[in-house]
Structure 1
Amino acid sequence: MLPDHQFLRIPGPSPIPPSVQRAMNQPMIGHRDQETKHLLHSIQPALKPIFGTKQNVLIMSGSGTASLESAVVNAVHPGDKVLVIVTGAFGDRFVQICAEYQIAINRHDVEWGEAVEPGAIKDYLKNHPGIKAVFATFCETSTGVLNPIQELGQIIRQHSDALFIVDGVSCVGGVEVKMDAWAIDILISGSQKALMLPPGLTFAAVSERAWKVIEKNDRPSFYLDLTKYRDQLENDTTPFTPAVSLLFGLKQMLELIEQEGLEEAFARHRQMMNMTRSAFRSLGIPLLTSDKAASPTTTAIRPDDFDPDILRNVLKKEFNLTVAGGQKHLKSKIFRIGHMGYCSPADILQTISIIEVALRKIGKQVELGSGTRAAQEILLSGGS
């Protein structure tokens, strides 16, 4: 094993393209200088299609959790009734944030590994009038589930006046999203997942409907006040010091997506998902989610005859391949493979091949090459 030869296959942070790394190595510029204004101005037109919106996409320095908190603190008041759809650890994070701000939480729990049923939300809204906002996680990386956001948006708009607030941190850039057409009011994301950047940038796109609510919210907020970011963006600047090097990288990342094509990027992610799922089926190792609920950016595997943490340790120690473990009650029960952003079908073939060898090393009897062959067949068929 070469010390510097690392294979990162977790659900974020994801690998960084070399051209993005080079872009971030550019000499620093003044954050209030004209160069930074030009940079911010040039980024907006390319960001909007990724979010599926005509609205400007606000850019803040912070983690994905900062964007979750910004949505809560701007869109709802203490005491407001909200519905939080919890399909995993990051849906639960919305609950924790709302609790910190004294929001009246209505919680809809779904078994981990399953996607929410839109009909259940329809019934809930009919029976619980006065909900001010519905929070949902698009891709739940703790389980590898992709929730039916389009259907949820239609139901929420038809059966309530609630704002629809969506955590797209781990899938925006890797799956199709049409914020405006799907009636999403606030769509948030982060830089370190399918957007192929290091951690440190967070994004929020806000509908006109949501702005009307936010503008009436008199709760004190300083750094996370979205109106400040909106107003300053009109002048191609930010209210606080931006992460300039990450903005350089963001511009280059957007150029890479433009070169590949957005639809092609989505198809690549679906293909990698199908390759990964087919490989583990061929190896006889159970998947956590159904095909219908599966995310194109993360796959969760739930073995029934070996300890996933032992496998992960062998992968890391002997091959420098990092895959993720389970969270909360799924800890030591699943492992997760990230296939998002700067990741190709060739990377998946390599990952599956290494995992096959590691499985044999821990005593799991698998036919070497069977998983790789299954993934190869998906690739050759063009299956996406």
Structure 2
Amino acid sequence: MLKDQLILRIPGPTPIPPSVNRALLQPMVGHRDRQVSERIKKLIPRLRPLFGTEKNDVLIVAGSGTSGLEAAAVNLTQEGEEVLVLVTGAFGDRFRKILEAYRLTVHAVETEWGEPVDPEQVKKALNSHPGVKVVFATHSETSTGVLNPIDQIAHVVHEHSDALIAVDGVSSIGGAEMRMDEWKIDLVVTGSQKALMLPPGLAFLAVSEKAWTKISNNPRPRFYLDLLKYKKSLGEDTVPFTPAVSHLFALDQSLSLIEEEGLQETLKRHLLMMKMTRAGIRAMGVPLLVAEERYSSPTVTAVIPDDFTPGAFRTVMSKEFNIVFASGQGHLKDRIFRIGHMGYCSPTDVLQYLGAMELALQKVGHEVTLGAGVAAAQEVYKR
């Protein structure tokens, strides 16, 4: 196999389009240069459609997606306040750990990993804990491939409490539908290295007016992640601290690619890749972690083999085909493997990795008819 070929099919970081790579190579400029301010001014309204908002501020933070989650926690809460976190996997659990670190009274709704949150569970939790001030939820749970029904969850939150709702959209924004305004979400976080087709290093936060009211009246100390600083700087078309300048150049180009395709077409492509992947894997006789397609993330699929070791299979895929899948996380680390199909990924790529998977499955002793998975995916594509 080609030594310098790497076909990255993990749920982040994801492959970067050539034109975005070229944008990263633009000459460096001063971070307070006028052209950086002009770029930021133009980027914000182009980011809003990804979040499904026409009016809310979108902030750009130089940091990982986790920095955005921590910013949500430290800005929306006061020490000792009651919060509710919805845990459906490793990243929901990370949200919980962030909240606990800030000395909050944390209540949790937990599901078996691979299962979505039932809105009725949220309703019961809110009725049991009427003092909850913020509900923290994960949209696409990257560790399991679950897509939680955020629209239904938000409806329950607004119907049964006055709590704010903050959403981890790190592996969903740009790949799954988010209607922030319509669903009345108060804060949404995402990161650069997933469906947005950028290197790691940027977090984006969309913030509602209701959330700003809470943030503005919050006496909790914070500095780098003080969103009020970012809001003030946004009015001056800048950011409060040194931005990742090259990432802004790249963001400009990645948004152009999404706009050229059309956001709705981009979302349809992700759904198609998810359906092709699931159909192909089922046709190979390998179980999927998320049983119901309606709760399956359009950006990542988790597979839970019952007759071979995920690690051995991933090794064959990597060594023989240069295709990299991800392992599981937490207690699923050695039980599943995960396939990322987001951002710079197309149905052609799905057919490629499904074809290689059939050969790799035979190598690890799983009986599969060559062509069965690819054919099933092709049928989905045809429909």
1:2 corresponds to which residue? 2
Moved over 6 A (4+): none
- Shift of the alpha carbon at 1:219? 1.1
Contact 2:67 2:203 in 1 (8 A): yes
1:263 paired with 2:264, answer yes
1:231 corresponds to which residue? 232
Q: How large is the RMSD of aligned CA atoms in angstroms?
A: 0.7
Local SS of the residue matching 1:129: coil
2:372 corresponds to which residue? 370
- Shift of the alpha carbon at 1:61? 0.4
1:339 corresponds to which residue? 341
Local SS of the residue matching 2:221: coil
One of 324, 330, 350 as aligned partner of 1:348: 350
1:209-245 deviation per Cα after TM superposition (whole angstroms, max 9, x unaligned): 0111111111111100001001101110000000000
> Aligned partners of 2:347 and 2:377: how far apart in 1?
9
1:115 corresponds to which residue? 116
Q: What is the TM-score normalised by the length of structure 1?
A: 0.98
More moved, 294-303 vs 124-133: 124-133
1:147 corresponds to which residue? 148
- Shift of the alpha carbon at 1:157? 1.0
* Mapping of residues 325-336 of structure 1, within 5 Å: 325-336=327-338
> Aligned partners of 2:309 and 2:184: how far apart in 1?
42
1:240 corresponds to which residue? 241
Local SS of the residue matching 2:294: coil
> Aligned partners of 1:78 and 1:44: how far apart in 2?
31
> Aligned partners of 2:204 and 2:44: how far apart in 1?
11
* Mapping of residues 90-101 of structure 1, within 5 Å: 90-101=91-102
Local SS of the residue matching 2:266: helix
- Shift of the alpha carbon at 1:56? 2.0
Aligned length: 381
> Aligned partners of 2:92 and 2:2: how far apart in 1?
38
Identity of aligned residues (%): 57
- Shift of the alpha carbon at 1:316? 1.1
**What 5-or-longer segments of structure 2 have no aligned partner?**
none
1:28 corresponds to which residue? 28
Q: Which amino acid aligns with 1:275?
A: M
More moved, 9-18 vs 314-323: 314-323
1:181 paired with 2:182, answer yes
- Shift of the alpha carbon at 1:369? 0.7
> Aligned partners of 2:96 and 2:358: how far apart in 1?
39
> Aligned partners of 2:70 and 2:64: how far apart in 1?
10
- Shift of the alpha carbon at 1:35? 0.5
1:136 corresponds to which residue? 137
> Aligned partners of 2:45 and 2:164: how far apart in 1?
25
Q: Which amino acid aligns with 1:13?
A: P
1:19-53 deviation per Cα after TM superposition (whole angstroms, max 9, x unaligned): 00001110011110110011101111110011111
- Shift of the alpha carbon at 1:348? 0.4
1:280-311 deviation per Cα after TM superposition (whole angstroms, max 9, x unaligned): 11111000002121110000011100001100
Local SS of the residue matching 1:292: helix
Q: Which amino acid aligns with 2:260?
A: Q
> Aligned partners of 1:228 and 1:146: how far apart in 2?
32
1:337-365 deviation per Cα after TM superposition (whole angstroms, max 9, x unaligned): 00000000000000101111111112222
1:142-191 deviation per Cα after TM superposition (whole angstroms, max 9, x unaligned): 10000000111111111111110000000100011111111110100000
Q: What is the TM-score normalised by the length of structure 2?
A: 0.98
Contact 2:90 2:143 in 1 (8 A): yes
1:323 paired with 2:325, answer yes
1:186-206 deviation per Cα after TM superposition (whole angstroms, max 9, x unaligned): 100000001110000001011
Contact 2:281 2:373 in 1 (8 A): yes
**What 5-or-longer segments of structure 1 have no aligned partner?**
none
> Aligned partners of 2:248 and 2:143: how far apart in 1?
28
- Shift of the alpha carbon at 1:127? 2.2
1:163 corresponds to which residue? 164
1:299 corresponds to which residue? 301
1:48 corresponds to which residue? 48
> Aligned partners of 1:205 and 1:141: how far apart in 2?
20
Contact 2:167 2:185 in 1 (8 A): yes
Contact 2:57 2:208 in 1 (8 A): no
> Aligned partners of 1:372 and 1:292: how far apart in 2?
22
Local SS of the residue matching 1:132: strand
Contact 2:327 2:334 in 1 (8 A): yes
Q: Which amino acid aligns with 1:246?
A: H
Local SS of the residue matching 1:295: coil
1:64 corresponds to which residue? 65
1:12 paired with 2:12, answer yes
